[in-house]
Amino acid sequence: MAKKIAKEEAEQLAKDLLVSRKNGFWEVGDETIEKADQFGEGYKSFMNEGKTERECVNYAVRVAEQHGFVPYDSTASYKPGDKVYYNNRGKSVITAVIGENGCKDGVRIVAAHIDSPRLDLKPYPLYETNDLALFKTHYYGGIKKYQWTAMPLAMHGRLVRRDGTYVDVCVGEKPGEPQFMVTDLLPHLGNEQMAKTLSKAIEGEDLNIMLGSRPIRTEDGKGENLFKLNIMKILNEKYGIVEEDFISSEIEFVPAFEARDLGFDGSMIGAYGHDDRVCAYPALQALLDCKNPKNTVMSVWTDKEEIGSDGNTGLNSSYLEYFVTSLAEAEGLNGRDVLSRSKCLSADVGAAYDPTFSSVYEYANSCYLNNGVAMFKYVGSRGKSGTSDASAEFVGEVRKLLNDNHVLWQTGELGKVDAGGGGTVAMFIANLNVDVVDMGVPVLAMHSPYEIVSKLDIYAAYEAFKAFYEA
Ligand code: MN
Ligand code: MN
């Protein structure tokens, strides 16, 4: 029979045995908050420079070269401390530092994705109707379509001309440049629309982008498609393209907002596409700052995560496996053995607890803004489908690493058990027989055109990734 104990004794027991879950601001010193604020400044300028996967790769290559990284050469041999990057078709990039032990004990990978939900163009996007010129779009990734109307959009991407030359475009980001928009219906005429479910109120074929309203003016006022033709003429003069060139193009319309401090206290950052550039940035920054790693370390910035990781720049392809294998072979090792000994943080965002929508979160097992970088043993949906579900041993190893390095961290799940769910790149890396666990920054309003993260959490992610690289 349990005897009564003193209140103080119970308090001590609770201290010894139970998890205390305090807001991160009660756990960190002034210096950490200061560093987090500084780190946030660098992050914001990265966010404004790289809104698409191509722009992010350009950023990574530029910054890596400034830090002494050189393009990876599979025929070269490398020594500890050498820095290389592998640019996969301009849309995903691996940056790596050769470790003291090379890769004989496996490599250490932090993998984040640099593609975000957006509006892509159809192969024949340009059309006119009722004296207006518009683009037809095909949305990319999981979006709530009604959120993408009635806000400024910018056009980014690459147009490949019929002779194979290309031109990169970016319109709508600089002051004075035109912007674009998908219209929505005025409330006065919205009775029928407002009675629809949110998923039907705006449908895929409604996401048409407004481009112009002036025709090419003929002397007799007659002619076909003169509004469309006027836009094509402008694009031809500016970029040297013709309509067929759209077929060989990747044009992405993204929110034209810039990354900015959010809230009076400047504790948060609002931006388009924190998912998952908010993990990519600290992953690369930690690699640049990591000193004399024991094992070969690498940051992977991948493409295609938002559409399932298929495609040769996504992690369901073999590019990471080939890269690691190539490093292994250069050291006379077998790629399979190296991969089997490798460890990875799948760095992707989590859904931060949102008190406004509390019904879809389970309070005790959610991640929270400002409680630090979040480790997720599993994500997935419908009973852990579509996730790698890390082993207890590997979670234990990473947990120890975070605690030993005094990293501000938390854990969680992606909402209530049957509320929905989602996947990450973890399962594709796990398929290479690598130990992998999901870890990332909590985000509010994820996949909306403007998402929120906390500066303290971004910095915690940086500290976690750096500790992982230096372990
Ligand atoms: Mn993500
Ligand atoms: Mn996502």
Residues 66 and 149 in one domain: no
Quote the ligand 1 centre to 376 CA distance (angstroms): 13
Q: Is residue 217 scored above 70 in pLDDT?
A: yes
Query: Residue type for 209, please?
Result: I
d(CA 422, CA 445): 15
Cis amide bond preceding 163, omega within 30: no
Amino acid at 407: V
Ligand nearest to the CA of 112: 1
Ligand 2 centroid–CA 254 distance in Å is: 15
**In whole angstroms, what is the distance from residue 152 CA to residue 438 CA?**
33
The CATH number of whichever domain residue 41 belongs to comes to 3.40.630.10
pLDDT given for residue 196 in this prediction: 98
- Evaluate whether residue 9 is within a structural domain: no
Residues 6+ apart with CB under 8 A from 436: 343, 344, 345, 346, 388, 390, 394, 426, 429, 430
Q: Is 297 found in the same domain as 204?
A: no
- Give the number of C-alpha atoms closer than 13 A to the C-alpha of residue 248, restricted to the C-beta side: 12
Q: Mark whether 427 and 319 lie in a shared domain.
A: yes
CA of 92 to the centre of ligand 1 (A): 15
Share of the chain above pLDDT 90, in %: 96
Asked if residue 426 and residue 383 are part of one domain, the reply reads yes
| Cα 117 to ligand 1 centroid, rounded to whole Å | 10
Ligand 1 centre to CA of 123 (Å) is 26
Phi/psi-derived region of residue 453, left when phi > 0, alpha when psi is between -120 and 50, beta in every other case: beta
Residue after which a domain boundary falls, among 230, 255, 280: 255
Residue 261 within any structural domain of the chain: no
Task: Give a yes or no: residue 229 inside a domain.
Answer: yes
CA angle at 253 for the pair 247 and 257, rounded to the nearest 5°: 165
In a domain, 439, yes or no: yes
Q: Give the residue-averaged pLDDT of 269-295.
A: 97
How far is the centre of ligand 2, averaged over its atoms, from the C-alpha of 446 (Å)? Answer: 7
From the CA of 142, the nearest ligand is 2
- Amino acid symbol at 408: L
Residues 237 and 310 in one domain: no
Edge-first strand order for the sheet with 132-140 is 166-171, 153-160, 249-255, 118-129, 132-140, 208-212, 181-182
Same domain, 170 and 232: yes
259 C-alpha vs ligand 2 centroid, how far in Å? 18
302 falls within a domain: yes
Residue finishing a domain among 255, 288, 314? 255
**pLDDT at position 20 over 90:** no
Number of compact structural domains in the chain: 2
The bound ligand whose nearest atom lies closest to the alpha carbon of 349 is 1
pLDDT digits (tens, 9 = 90+) for 120-176: 999 999 999 999 999 999 999 999 999 999 999 999 999 999 999 999 999 999 999
Cα of 409 from ligand 2 centre, angstroms? 21
pLDDT at 17 over 80: yes
> What is the CA(256)–ligand 1 centre distance, in A?
20
What's the CA-to-centroid distance between 52 and ligand 1, angstroms?
14
Question: For position 21, what pLDDT does the model report?
Answer: 83
pLDDT in tens, 394-423: 999 999 999 999 999 999 999 999 898 899
Q: Domain range for residue 376?
A: 19-116+272-470
Within-domain flag for 131: yes
**Within this chain, do residues 86 and 144 fall inside the same structural domain, yes or no?**
no
Q: Which residues on neighbouring strands pair with residue 155, listed in sequence order? A: 171, 253
- Asked whether the beta carbons of 424 and 387 are under 8 A apart, the reply is yes
Within this chain, do residues 283 and 404 fall inside the same structural domain, yes or no?
A: yes
Question: 238 and 153 share a domain?
Answer: yes
Residue 1 lies in a domain: no
Residue 219 C-alpha to ligand 1 middle, in angstroms? 53
For 2-15, what is each residue's pLDDT tens digit? Answer: 899 999 999 999 99
Instruction: Among 226, 255, 284, give the residue marking a domain's end.
Output: 255
CA atoms of 281 and 247, how far apart (whole Å): 32
Q: What are phi and psi of 427, to 5 degrees?
A: -65, -30
Q: How far is the CA of 422 from the centre of ligand 1 (A)?
A: 9
Give the mean pLDDT of 442-471. Answer: 98
How many whole angstroms from 275 Cα to the centroid of ligand 2?
Answer: 5
Residues 133 and 233 in one domain: yes
222 and 99 in a common domain: no
What distance in angstroms lies between residue 141's CA and the mean position of ligand 2's atoms? 8
| pTM above threshold 0.85 | yes
Looking at every residue in the chain, the average pLDDT score rounds to: 97
Angle between helices 274-289 and 53-66 (to 10 degrees): 10
Q: Are residues 88 and 124 in the same domain?
A: no
Q: Looking at the domain assignment, is residue 267 inside a domain?
A: no
Q: Is the pLDDT of residue 457 over 70?
A: yes
CA distance 373 to 462: 9
Summarised one tens digit per residue, pLDDT across range 324-379 is 999 999 999 999 999 999 999 999 999 999 999 999 999 999 999 999 999 999 99
pLDDT level of residue 1 (50, 70, 90 thresholds): low
* Per-residue pLDDT tens over the stretch 105-131: 999 999 999 999 999 999 999 999 999
Cα–ligand 2 centroid distance for 393 (angstroms): 27
Dist. CA 423 → ligand 2 center (Å): 8
Non-local (6+) Cβ contacts of 199 within 8 A are 144, 145
CA of 128 to the centre of ligand 1 (A): 36
In terms of DSSP bridges, do strands 297-302 and 108-113 run parallel, antiparallel, or are they unpaired? Answer: parallel
Look up the CATH number of the domain holding residue 151: 2.30.250.10
Handedness of CA 89, 43, 346, 144 (dihedral sign): negative
